């Protein structure tokens, strides 16, 4: 049927003669020529199923209509996409779908944003000619993010395919048969008990309201789609920089969706994770609208901007005058933009000679870049995009759900599509049940296992003379063998097999990749990190310049923070006893955040924040509002520190709030700091230059 | 020429469709100049014997014996029967109770509902009894035209009436269709 010599085939659609590539479907051919054929189970990001028959067309006048989404073109084919019989067939199919379950648009949260409804309008289905079943189907609201109402399901199977093809989860599938068929999680579990990762790919592709977002779907909130507009931007939450489309109505964020053709090797097909799709929609904390100043009796009073900035600068000046240089710390959220990092740093360093600017999360991953002058020189990690190319993946201490939730999906897709057999070491077996090997050790014990793997792999490879980068390896103080580690950590038989398997697979692999998670980078003991660097070096550098490592970072712009704030003398820092500080927040830090190192006896603390910061407000003297990341333009740095993406403003900040630039520049002017840029745009260029100082070969 | 006679009835529904009809505002004046509105919740003219009429319009689903009697009688008396609104066209929100038995529905409504104290299910020969299931109008009698919507937009109702006056059965164009 397919053109043997790849010659274009000539077909006729609705009398129009066209030349198309062989092997494509009638639907694809029609869409290339802007000929509309309605579809329901077909989705551009998914494989074709041909299940709903909405796209039926007449081929060569045959008595049976063909589903155009799965019928390949053939030379000389004559296709009719619209005639009375076809329309009547499509409308009847639609009536069956409506009659089978309970499709009541007037109380469906998806009404107005529903492909089934759109088709009913388009085909003018103004009543049903078949009796309705009025059968009750179950619902599943055990997830905080995803609502599943089987009453609205048309069994098109888009979610099933999305779960497999987009998120690599295989959690969703059809259960039961015939009219009893339901979409089910795992082996007919409720959503909460299933292995679902809440990536939300299923609800993005759902053509009805069967799977829907539980946030902001009430009609009173989301209104009618005619009042919506969309903003294309990137998600800054984890450093993957997934492209997103945010839907906004009256300056209210309604939903966030992934982009189908994403490009730039970033997650496409609509892929996002629970953070980017749902967490952002959670009702945010109480916004801070006016500067607040602490009164003598401990209460807060509203203050105007000028006075609040004056008081901040005066307060920090007083601390410096009383305690000398080095007494003021800066804390800034790891979700801030590159511009904010640079401006905040310049202000703090030039204004008060600050020696310490930290982020509010575990910055332990930075140790890997500081673990020795030699190593720092060669330490360049590969991009997470190499997950797509590796022939072996070893995930060490990865708790995928926490920092970069999409990592799990990327690896699982490799397992499904390329038969990759990755392995994991650490408390969380996020590859279960797909991974080849897992060594379940508690957090912090990964390093012992890694050292043993390193030694054993080294021995084998030296014997085979296959260790291409072995000459660069640093001496290991205590070489541990597999035997030692088995005894030390009391491995059972299966774990022992897994350990041997990992050593063997790693040695055999040609293009391995090691993914390091926070349970390793968070440790004080750096020997685990060193051993991982050495283990990666065994296999040589990627493209002769990059280590075969992907280091997961705790926050969206952690790498930007490292590159832009890491200008300080660590030794000197250790001696710093902070007496005052300036904090710049993005998200509201948890009250027990261990990285929010604020000593109780600070003389002065000012906080710039989009929200009333819960715990921090107790020790602050001045609170200054700022827009949240969604309310301003900014750039963010990717996970590998090479990619820079522009994050567009999605909604407007409340009118009374001044931008980060106005606040920081205002503080700078009062502190007599001369910033060498005069606008946010100039700042952006400076930040970009600083990020790119380390030459990035991958940067386009 | 004699003005065509129009009757509208309100079965199991919220009256939203009739509200939407009133929402035609000044267009209503033009329409009423061309038709004679007989029995209707709008006119509050209660002659349920319905003289022979041209167009009967029904809002609401068929959920009890009274609804059934009214709609069957209206069907006999009118030449064209038009269903207005999602309840009349599809059954609408009332069909939620089709998942329960009649006794469960009544017990839930009169006894279990929050705020009900010492509730009991009323029973009297004058109170129409529920049907087993709430049905769209076309599951009970033949219907000639449909205007879905909850409620249908005034423009859709105006379109429907104008089509009827022009001697055609209404079929809403796609851009006037909506189910919510």
Are B95 and A132 within 8 A, CB to CB?
yes
Q: How far apart are CA A477 and CA A527, in angstroms?
A: 9
Domain presence at residue B124: no
Chain B residues with CB under 8 Å of A131 CB are 139
Q: How far apart are CA B163 and CA B147, in angstroms?
A: 12
Are A117 and B179 within 8 A, CB to CB?
yes
Mean pLDDT to the nearest integer, A12-35: 95
Q: What residue in A sits closest to B90 (Cα-Cα)? A: A127
Extract the tokens encoding B105: 């529905």
Is the per-residue pLDDT at A473 higher than 60?
no
Measured distance between the N- and C-terminal CA atoms of chain B, rounded to whole angstroms: 38
Domain presence at residue B121: no
Per-residue pLDDT tens digits for A201-214: 999 999 999 999 99
**Degrees (nearest 5) of the Cα angle A178, A180, A185?**
110
Are A124 and B86 within 8 A, CB to CB?
no
CA distance A15 to chain B (A): 25
Strand partners of residue A79: A13, A59
Chain B residues with CB under 8 Å of A111 CB are 179-180
Cβ–Cβ contact B19 with A under 8 A: no
Structure ipTM: 0.95
Are A126 and B91 within 8 A, CB to CB?
no
Are A121 and B98 within 8 A, CB to CB?
no
Are B90 and A127 within 8 A, CB to CB?
yes
CA distance A49 to chain B (A): 28
Per-residue pLDDT tens digits for A157-181: 999 999 999 998 889 999 999 999 9
Structural domains of chain A, ranges and CATH numbers in brackets:
9-82 (3.10.20.740), 292-363+558-692 (3.40.50.740), 366-551 (3.40.228.10)
Cβ atoms of residues A162 and A204 within 8 Å: yes
Cβ atoms of residues B50 and B39 within 8 Å: yes
DSSP labels, B120-168:
-----TTSPPEEEEEE-GGGTS--SEEE--SSPPHHHHHHHHHHHHTT-
**Nearest CB neighbour to B171, from listed A120, A124, A136:** A124
Q: What residue in A sits closest to B144 (Cα-Cα)? A: A127
Mean pLDDT to the nearest integer, A356-380: 70
Chain B residues with CB under 8 Å of A113 CB are none
Domain span at B33: 5-98+131-176
Are B146 and A134 within 8 A, CB to CB?
no
pLDDT category of residue A107 using cuts at 50, 70 and 90:
confident
Per-residue pLDDT tens digits for A70-106: 999 999 999 999 999 999 999 999 999 999 999 999 8
CATH number at residue B45: 3.40.50.700
Cβ atoms of residues A109 and A217 within 8 Å: yes
Q: How far apart are CA A198 and CA A191, in angstroms?
A: 9
User: What's the mean pLDDT when you consider all of chain A?
Assistant: 88
Centroid of chain to Cα B60: 4
The structural domain count of chain B equals 1
Are A120 and B177 within 8 A, CB to CB?
yes
Are A127 and B146 within 8 A, CB to CB?
yes
Go through chain A and tell me how many residues it has: 700
Domain presence at residue B83: yes
Are B172 and A124 within 8 A, CB to CB?
yes
Cβ atoms of residues A202 and A409 within 8 Å: no
pLDDT at A697: 43
pLDDT at A467: 56
CA-wise closest residue to B171 among A492, A327, A123: A123
Are B171 and A134 within 8 A, CB to CB?
no
Strand partners of residue A515: A395, A550
Chain B residues with CB under 8 Å of A108 CB are 180
What proportion of chain A, given as a percentage, has pLDDT over 70? 92
CA distance A22 to chain B (A): 36
Mutation to test the A interface, candidates B62, B84, B85, B90, most A Cβ within 10 Å: B90
What proportion of chain A, given as a percentage, has pLDDT over 90? 61
Cβ atoms of residues A218 and A109 within 8 Å: yes
How many Å is the Cα radius of gyration of chain A?
29
Domain presence at residue B126: no
Are B95 and A104 within 8 A, CB to CB?
yes
**Degrees (nearest 5) of the Cα angle A605, A611, A613?**
45
Go through chain B and tell me how many residues it has: 180
Mutation to test the B interface, candidates A134, A135, A208, most B Cβ within 10 Å: A134
Q: Is A210 helix (H, G, I), strand (E, B) or coil?
A: coil
**Nearest CB neighbour to A104, from listed B92, B147, B174:** B92
Per-residue pLDDT tens digits for B136-158: 999 999 999 999 999 999 999 99
Are A127 and B92 within 8 A, CB to CB?
no
Per-residue pLDDT tens digits for A591-649: 667 676 666 678 899 999 998 887 777 788 999 999 999 999 999 999 988 889 999 99
Are B138 and A124 within 8 A, CB to CB?
no
pLDDT at A698: 40
Is the per-residue pLDDT at A573 higher than 90?
no
CA-wise closest residue to A46 among A14, A67, A69: A69
Q: How far apart are CA A351 and CA A672, in angstroms?
A: 7
pTM of the model: 0.90
Mutation to test the A interface, candidates B99, B141, B150, B179, most A Cβ within 10 Å: B179
Q: What residue in B sits closest to A106 (Cα-Cα)? A: B180
Is the per-residue pLDDT at A1 higher than 80?
no
Chain A residues with CB under 8 Å of B86 CB are 104-106
pLDDT category of residue A700 using cuts at 50, 70 and 90:
very low
CA distance B144 to chain A (A): 11
The helix or strand, by DSSP H or E, that contains position A667, with its residue range, turns out to be helix A660-670
Domain presence at residue B43: yes
pLDDT at A262: 76
Are B89 and A104 within 8 A, CB to CB?
no
Q: How far apart are CA A159 and CA A157, in angstroms?
A: 5
Q: What residue in A sits closest to B151 (Cα-Cα)? A: A106
Q: 10 Å Cβ neighbour count for A540?
A: 16
Q: Reduced to 3 DSSP states, what percent helix, strand and coil does chain B have, rounded to the nearest 5?
A: 40, 20, 40
Residue with tokens 């030390």: A488
Is the per-residue pLDDT at A325 higher than 80?
no
CA-wise closest residue to A608 among A331, A315, A318: A331
Q: 10 Å Cβ neighbour count for A678?
A: 9
Q: Which residues 30-59 of B have a C-beta within 8 angstroms of A?
A: none
Are A111 and B180 within 8 A, CB to CB?
yes
Domain presence at residue B123: no
Q: How far apart are CA A74 and CA A21, in angstroms?
A: 10
pLDDT at A376: 46
Is the per-residue pLDDT at A503 higher than 80?
yes
Are A128 and B147 within 8 A, CB to CB?
no
Q: Give backbone dihedrals phi and psi of A579, rounded to 5 degrees, phi first.
A: -120, -15
Cβ–Cβ contact B102 with A under 8 A: no
Residue with tokens 């007989």: B38
Q: How far apart are CA A266 and CA A234, in angstroms?
A: 11
pLDDT at A361: 83
Q: How far apart are CA A320 and CA A313, in angstroms?
A: 11
Mean pLDDT to the nearest integer, B160-167: 94
């Amino acid at each position: 049927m397919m053109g043997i010599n790849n010659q274009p085939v000539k077909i006729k659609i609705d009398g129009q003669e066209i030349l198309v590539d062989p092997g494509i479907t009638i639907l694809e051919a029609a869409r290339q020529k802007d000929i509309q054929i309605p579809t329901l189970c077909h989705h551009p990001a998914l494989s074709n199923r041909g299940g709903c028959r909405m796209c039926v067309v007449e081929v060569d006048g045959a008595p049976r209509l063909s589903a155009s989404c799965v019928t390949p073109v053939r030379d000389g084919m004559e296709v009719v996409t619209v005639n009375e019989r076809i329309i009547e067939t499509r409308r009847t199919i639609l009536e069956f779908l409506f009659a089978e379950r309970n499709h009541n648009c007037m109380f469906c949260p998806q009404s107005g944003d529903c492909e089934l409804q759109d088709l009913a309008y388009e085909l003018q289905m103004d009543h049903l000619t078949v009796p309705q079943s009025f059968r009750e189907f179950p619902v599943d609201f055990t997830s905080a993010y995803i609502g599943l109402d089987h009453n609205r399901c048309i069994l098109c199977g888009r979610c099933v395919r999305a779960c497999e093809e987009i998120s690599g989860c295989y959690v969703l599938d059809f259960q039961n048969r015939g009219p009893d068929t339901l979409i089910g999680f795992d082996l007919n579990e409720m959503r909460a008990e299933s292995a679902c990762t809440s990536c939300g790919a299923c609800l993005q592709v759902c053509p009805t309201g069967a799977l829907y977002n539980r946030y902001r779907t009430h009609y009173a909130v989301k209104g009618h789609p005619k009042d919506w507009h969309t903003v294309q931007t990137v998600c800054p939450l984890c450093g993957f920089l997934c492209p997103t489309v945010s839907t906004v109505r009256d300056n209210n964020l309604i939903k966030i969706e992934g982009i189908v053709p994403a490009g730039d090797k970033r997650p496409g097909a609509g892929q996002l994770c629970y953070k980017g799709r749902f967490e952002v929609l959670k009702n945010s904390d109480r916004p801070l609208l006016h500067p607040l100043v602490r009164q003598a009796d401990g209460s807060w009073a509203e203050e105007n901007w000028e006075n609040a900035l004056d008081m901040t600068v005066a307060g920090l000046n007083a601390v410096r005058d009383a305690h000398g240089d080095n007494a003021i710390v800066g804390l800034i959220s790891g979700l801030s933009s590159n511009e904010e990092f640079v401006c905040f740093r310049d202000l703090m360093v030039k204004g008060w000679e600050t020696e310490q600017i930290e982020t509010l999360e575990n910055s332990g991953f930075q140790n890997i870049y500081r673990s020795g002058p030699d190593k720092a020189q060669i330490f360049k990690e590969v991009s997470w995009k190499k997950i797509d190319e590796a022939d072996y993946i070893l995930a060490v201490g990865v708790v995928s759900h926490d920092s970069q939730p999409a990592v799990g999906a990327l690896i699982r897709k490799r397992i499904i599509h390329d038969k990759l057999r990755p392995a994991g070491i650490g408390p969380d077996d996020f590859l279960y049940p797909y991974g080849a090997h897992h060594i379940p050790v508690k957090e912090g014990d990964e390093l012992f296992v890694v050292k043993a793997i390193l030694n054993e792999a080294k021995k084998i490879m030296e014997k085979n003379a296959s260790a291409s980068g072995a000459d660069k390896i640093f001496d290991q103080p205590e070489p541990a063998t597999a035997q030692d580690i088995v005894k030390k950590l009391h491995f059972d038989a299966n774990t022992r097999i897994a350990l041997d398997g990992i050593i063997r697979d790693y040695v055999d692999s040609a293009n391995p990749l090691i993914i390091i998670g926070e349970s390793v980078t968070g440790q004080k003991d750096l020997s685990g990190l060193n051993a991982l660097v050495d283990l990666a070096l065994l296999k040589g550098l990627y493209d002769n310049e990059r280590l075969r490592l992907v280091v997961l970072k705790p926050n969206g712009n952690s790498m930007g923070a490292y590159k832009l704030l890491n200008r300080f003398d660590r030794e000197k820092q250790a001696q710093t006893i902070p007496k005052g500080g300036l904090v710049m927040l993005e998200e509201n830090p948890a009250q027990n955040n261990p990285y929010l190192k604020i000593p109780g006896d600070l003389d002065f603390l000012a906080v710039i924040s989009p929200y009333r910061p819960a715990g921090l407000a107790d020790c602050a003297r001045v609170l200054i509002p700022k827009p949240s990341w969604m309310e301003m333009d900014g750039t963010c740095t990717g996970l590998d520190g090479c990619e820079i993406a522009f994050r567009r403003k999605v909604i407007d900040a409340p009118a009374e709030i001044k931008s980060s630039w106005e606040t920081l520049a205002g503080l700078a002017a009062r502190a007599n700091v001369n910033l060498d840029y005069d606008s946010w745009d100039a700042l952006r260029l400076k930040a970009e230059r600083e990020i790119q100082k380390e030459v990035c070969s991958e940067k386009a | 020429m004699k003005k065509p006679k129009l009757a509208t009835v309100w079965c199991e529904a919220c009256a939203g469709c009739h509200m939407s009809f009133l929402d035609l505002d000044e267009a209503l004046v033009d329409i009423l100049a061309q038709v004679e509105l007989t029995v209707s919740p709008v006119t509050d003219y209660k002659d349920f014997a319905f003289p022979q009429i041209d167009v009967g319009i029904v809002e609401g689903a068929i959920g009890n014996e009274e609804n059934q009697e009214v709609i069957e009688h209206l069907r006999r008396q009118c030449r064209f029967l038009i269903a207005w609104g999602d309840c009349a066209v599809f059954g609408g929100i009332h069909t939620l109770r089709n998942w329960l038995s009649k006794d469960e529905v009544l017990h839930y409504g009169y006894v279990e509902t929050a705020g009900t104290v010492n509730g009991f299910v009323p029973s009297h020969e004058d109170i129409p009894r529920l049907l087993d299931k709430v049905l769209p109008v076309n599951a009970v009698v033949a219907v000639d035209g449909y205007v879905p919507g909850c409620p249908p937009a005034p423009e859709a109702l105006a379109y429907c009436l104008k089509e009827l006056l022009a001697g055609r059965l209404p079929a809403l164009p796609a851009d006037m269709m909506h189910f919510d």
